Amino acid sequence: MDYRKYDELFYVAKAHDRVNVLSDIAFSRLMYPEDLTEKAEREYEAYIRENENQVLAYLTDAEKMEELREISWRGLWERDALETAADYAARTGKREILSFLMEEQHRFFPVRRKKFDL
């Protein structure tokens, strides 16, 4: 398989496919980077960042923990998207996903307590 050609055609898929298909493509390439160029890696990561709310909703619905861990490993979290995903997981009863997302919230965006000295 010509992976470089496959990666070059991602822009065509973005014009025609839905978030679930595009997410599967992006994560498949990022998680199994056979012959993945830096340019293609940046493009897949950019797609995830630019569509993070929809991608996270899809990953939550499909209970794709490995892909969620990949987001963490790559540091692709945005605070608002992570909060929205946690709320969505809570509303849809995805407890394992919710637990993971809450841990990631604390890890990536820790709440800083204000300290008052008298």
Q: Which of 26, 29, 39 has the alpha carbon at shortest distance from 3?
A: 29
pLDDT at 103: 97
> What would the DSSP string read from start to end of 26-87?
HHHHHHS-TT--HHHHHHHHHHHHHTHHHHHHHHHHTT-HHHHHHHHHHT---HHHHHHHHH
Q: What is the pLDDT of residues 64-103, one digit of tens each?
A: 999 999 999 999 999 999 999 999 999 999 999 999 999 9
Residue type, position 88, single letter: Y
pLDDT at 112: 77
Q: What is the pLDDT of residues 22-63, one digit of tens each?
A: 999 999 999 999 999 999 999 999 999 999 999 999 999 999
- In this prediction the pTM is 0.89
Res. 114: pLDDT tops 90? no
Classify burial at 79, counting beta carbons within 10 Å of its beta carbon; exposed 0-12, middle 13-18, buried 19 or more: exposed
pLDDT at 118: 66
Q: Which residues contact 102 (CB under 8 A, 6 or more apart)?
A: 86
